[in-house]
Amino acid sequence: MANLTLDLFCKVVDNFGDIGICWRLARQLEREHGIAVRLWVDDLRAFQRICPQVDSGAAQQVIEHVAVRHWVGQDGEYTPSEVADIVIEFFACDIPPGYIAAMAQRPVKPVWLNLEGLSAEEWVEGCHSLPSKHPRLPLTKYFFFPGFTNKTGGLLCESGLEGERAAFAADPAAAPRFLASLGVTAAEAAGLKVSLFCYPYAPVAELFAAWRDGGQPVTCLVPEGVAADAVQAFLGQPAVPGAVRSEGALTVRVLPFVPQQDYDKLLWSCDLNFVRGEDSWVRAQWAGKSFIWHIYAQDENLHHKKLRAFLQRHSGGEALDAFSLCWNGARQGDWPDLWKGLAEAMPEISARSAQWQQKILANGDLASNLTKFCASLT
């Protein structure tokens, strides 16, 4: 799809997940499919946290061959020549009315997609690729759903990701060297290593207590700003990068917030990864390690239904399911017992990860499936 242009609109709601997904997709479309991408983002400061090259004060900039625009408000007029060949709104964000009007004025109408959030629920298959005609303008928008079956758009996965992970795993010095660059000591790296990325309402204090009083040494690596209250309470000091404390079997260390590429290395370096939302959840699945997903909470506990749908598809085992349900407040449980069961099951869970990866890879990657779908409409 060389010589095509694409505008991707991202409104940051979940801090890093929204822009994380859009940034990965934008780079992959440019690198692997030769599409000229403009990424419109309303919150450049959040973007800067995962991509330090971002100038949070710039209205326009180019990063890794992707044009980045600061999306400021819904006002403004656009000409048909400013409209891209493919227009993607992420997660039903409302793109500027003036831009939509210009889309309708183009002689060849752009392909307009609403890229939805990831879900394992069955209804997604029936809604994937459905058209929706604009009530007034000669435009049609299509709903594009990521997912876990061949009746969906698949998952984001760069073509070279598995090779990079395999090379990292094959080098015995890679993980210790990377962790040392974040301040992790050799003694801390010798124990069970856990990365913790969750929402503030996760039962972190209860889990810390189970780790502290357990018989297995655990090093918990927490990015700055994550579970700040629970981490600070354990540390007895501000939860800033470099802060560390050990009590009982548990050591908690606060890490600097790392760029996307380094976050993958963190997942590869740990034995167990707690992830949240969508972006880190998908990366944990490609990391090939045991992981626990903290799903974004929704009204009327709708997120519990989504969680159960994924656990059923993933088939990680009884211990993983029980821990995941309790971590997300969908069930009550005893944390020492939950941790004991999960720790014992981790070798089996990790062994199953390769099978799970092959299963979801068979559906094709999201960027490739998206470009094929766009080509089918032109």
Domains and CATH numbers, the chain: 5-154+363-377 (no CATH), 160-362 (3.40.50.2000)
What pLDDT, on the 0 to 100 scale, is given for residue 103? 98
- Summarised one tens digit per residue, pLDDT across range 189-225 is 999 999 999 999 999 999 999 999 998 999 999 999 9
Strands 290-294 and 218-223: unpaired
Alpha helices in 183-317 (DSSP H): 186-190, 204-213, 228-235, 260-269, 279-287, 302-314
pTM (whole model) above 0.85: yes
What pLDDT, on the 0 to 100 scale, is given for residue 227? 96
- Summarised one tens digit per residue, pLDDT across range 277-313 is 999 999 999 999 999 999 998 898 999 999 999 999 9
Strands 60-63 and 66-70: antiparallel
Backbone φ and ψ for 236, nearest 5 degrees, come out as 75, 20
CB within 8 A of 41, min separation 6: which ones?
A: 10, 12, 19, 22, 47, 68, 69, 70, 71
Which of the residues in the chain have pLDDT under 50? none
- The whole-angstrom separation of Cα 311 and Cα 238 is 36
218-223, strands of its sheet edge to edge: 244-247, 250-255, 218-223, 192-196, 272-276, 290-294
Determine which one of 7, 14, 18, 43 is catalytic.
Answer: 18
What pLDDT, on the 0 to 100 scale, is given for residue 173? 97
Determine which one of 7, 30, 116, 278 is catalytic.
Answer: 278
> Do the beta carbons of residue 78 and residue 110 sit within 8 Å?
no
- The whole-angstrom separation of Cα 6 and Cα 121 is 29
CB within 8 A of 314, min separation 6: which ones?
A: 120, 356
What pLDDT, on the 0 to 100 scale, is given for residue 1? 58
Residue 18 known to be catalytic? yes
Residue 278 known to be catalytic? yes
What pLDDT, on the 0 to 100 scale, is given for residue 16? 81
E strand or H helix at 46, and its extent?
Answer: helix 44-50
